[in-house]
Chain A
Amino acid sequence: DAGVTQSPTHLIKTRGQHVTLRCSPISGHKSVSWYQQVLGQGPQFIFQYYEKEERGRGNFPDRFSARQFPNYSSELNVNALLLGDSALYLCASSFWPGRGSGANVLTFGAGSRLTVL
């Protein structure tokens, strides 16, 4: 079975540009979460979607937005890029965004490495 797939794997943008990152969850998983991992730090929660509805948002500016499609894949959009947006963006999926038992455990993709110049 395919795991969580993310695209692109690497990308370079300049300040002020826009970026779209994509994520396909494990088949059967209905929840997708996005995390930002700055170099040398642990992942920070950005968004969570379940059944195409936003269920949670982390402490990120409105330049960050996301959506989930009917096939449960997801996009993360970042507008007006800043140097500080340079990071590894991780997508994680689970059957349900629960506490962490059974099928609710997060499975992560390999991430999209964004560099902003």
Chain B
Amino acid sequence: AQTVTQSQPEMSVQEAETVTLSCTYDTSESDYYLFWYKQPPSRQMILVIRQEAYKQQNATENRFSVNFQKAAKSFSLKISDSQLGDAAMYFCAYPSALAASGTYKYIFGTGTRLKVLA
């Protein structure tokens, strides 16, 4: 069964500095997607970045980038020039196939709470 593990319950970063959040996963598939979602106190999960496993190039979205190590099954999120608005829970997620239906459910890690210090 696929699993997603986030080993950092909480991280802190100074404003304008860089922080990296870790995620490891387990799957037997060769082609898949991985996601980072952000959940601020408003509770709404917001997509931060997406990586396609067959692409060797790491995804980048403005200040957010990933370090995708397929062989190691590692998918870390780097936030550069951290801002106060980046403070939130961050979840790593993996779409897992629902047997026979041809559709997918998301498996989430337990999350990392990011605090941004002024």
Contact = CB atoms under 8 A, between A and B. Distances in A.
A40 B4 CA distance: 15
Contacts of A110: 42-44
A44 to B, nearest CB: 8
A99 interface: yes
A16 interface: no
B108 A48 contact: no
B98 A55 contact: yes
Interface stretch (B12-20, B45-53, B58-66, B69-77): B45-53
A19 interface: no
Interface in A94-117: 96-101, 104-111, 113
Contacts of B47: 105-107
Nearest to B99: A56
B108 A42 contact: yes
Interface string B17-34: 000000000000000110
A47 B109 CA distance: 18
B91 interface: yes
Interface string A73-106: 0000000000000001010100011111100111
Nearest to A105: B47
Most buried by A among B97, B101, B107: B101
A45 interface: yes
A99 B108 CA distance: 14
Interface of A: 31, 33, 35, 40-45, 48, 50, 55-56, 58, 88, 90, 92, 96-101, 104-111, 113
Given A48-B103, A48-B105, A98-B104, 12 more contacts: A33-B106, A42-B6, A42-B91, A42-B109, A45-B106, A48-B98, A55-B98, A88-B43, A97-B98, A104-B104, A108-B45, A108-B46
